[in-house]
Amino acid sequence: MNHKRKKINRIKVILSASVAVLLVLIALFASVIAPNDPYETCASAIRTAPSAEFLFGTDNLGRCVFSRVLYGARTTIAATFILVAISFILGSFIGVLSGYYGGILDEITMRIADIMLAFPQMVVAIAVAGILGGGLTSAMIALGITMWTGFARLARSHTFAIKNCPYVQAARLAGKSGSAIMMAHILPNIIAPLLTNALTQIGTTMIGISGLSFLGLGVVPPTAEWGSMINESRAYIQIAPWAVLYPAIATIVTIIVFNYLGDCVMEYRDED
């Protein structure tokens, strides 16, 4: 019975992973797939309904929504991946260090993490992005400022559990330095749960970036980004609903796919 469930879980992981990879590929090859230039305005084709030429219709400036959604995928997904990767590396690094050495270092980083956790992520992000001014980079900084804490906490607690294992102590007695032990014995053994956590963070981060852009604190127009596209087009949603609908659908689908992938991987790992 258990065996069967494991098999089902594996299929789930493979399926959701392939959909996720497909999305990433679309983002990567946006310039090849896109039928039109996403930034080319066309005065004669303003707010045209979806047709063979403009699959998702055009927006207020006559730009092809389909091409913009594809290019937006590139912006959103790339920004998310970079942000998650940086927070993951930085947070895990800090977490492993403070978990292994403990003491004052641990005390300080964990108090900072506590403070960060006390506020909802989006509230902090809006405040920070507001201070830094618009732009994709400041939106990423604004989100990253709270995101690393999650990784740090997770890495710290796993390190804590492992550092008293006999094999770590044996390595200490064998004369291994702290950094060598962390690299050779601790990190490889905790990397799996950390990566799983990173995977589940992708969805939330995507919401964050699109959300900030929607509020005008992220990507600056005319750059194609789903959140800012929705924001630009919502004024004329009754005349050209497609200009809002398609980027919204793209956002939702992508978030669901990555969240589902994260959940599946987590479930699959828990089975062992």
Partner 1 sequence: MPDSDIVLAGKNLNKCYVDKGKKLQALKDVSFFLKKGEILGIVGESGSGKSTLLRHISCLEKPDSGTLLYKGTEYTGKPPAFAGTFLQMIFQDAQMSFDPRMKMKKAVVEASNGCSREKLSHILEAVGLDEGLLEKKAGNMSGGQCQRMSIARALCSDARILLCDEVTSALDVTTQAQVVALIRQLQENEGLSIIFVSHDLALVSMLCDRIMVMKNGECVEEGETSKVLGNPQHEYTKELLDNLIE
**Residue 149, Cβ density class (10 Å: 0-12 exposed, 13-18 middle, ≥19 buried):** buried
Positions in 94-113 near partner 1 (CB under 8 A): none
**Count residues contacting partner 1 (CB under 8 A)?**
16
68 vs 90: CA distance, rounded Å: 32
Question: Is 156 a residue that touches partner 1 (CB under 8 A)?
Answer: no
184 vs 245: CA distance, rounded Å: 49
Positions in 205-244 near partner 1 (CB under 8 A): none
- Chosen residue from 157, 172, 193, 241 binding partner 1 by CB under 8 A: 172
- Chosen residue from 169, 179, 249, 253 binding partner 1 by CB under 8 A: 169
Task: Measure CA 198 to chain center.
Answer: 8
Question: Is 158 a residue that touches partner 1 (CB under 8 A)?
Answer: no
Contact status, residue 153 vs residue 95, Cβ threshold 8 Å: yes
Give me the least distance between CB of 171 and partner 1, in Å please.
7
- Chosen residue from 1, 103, 118, 175 binding partner 1 by CB under 8 A: 175
31 vs 196: CA distance, rounded Å: 31
- Chosen residue from 15, 22, 49, 170 binding partner 1 by CB under 8 A: 170
Instruction: Tokens for 126, please give them.
Output: 């809006």
Instruction: Tokens for 29, please give them.
Output: 């090859």
* In the block, residue with structure tokens 């032990």: 181
Question: Is 18 a residue that touches partner 1 (CB under 8 A)?
Answer: no
Peptide bond into 222 cis (omega under 30): yes
144 vs 34: CA distance, rounded Å: 31
- Chosen residue from 118, 166, 238, 272 binding partner 1 by CB under 8 A: 166
84 vs 151: CA distance, rounded Å: 10
Cβ-based nearer residue to partner 1, 118 or 272: 272
- Chosen residue from 116, 189, 216, 267 binding partner 1 by CB under 8 A: 189
Sequence letter at residue 245: L
Give me the least distance between CB of 226 and partner 1, in Å please.
40
From the list 25-33, 78-86, 170-178, 255-263, the region that binds partner 1 by CB under 8 A is 170-178
From the list 26-34, 74-82, 94-102, 180-188, the region that binds partner 1 by CB under 8 A is 180-188
H or E element in which residue 56 lies: none
Judged by the rule CB under 8 A, the positions of this chain that interact with partner 1 are 165-167, 169-177, 184-185, 188-189
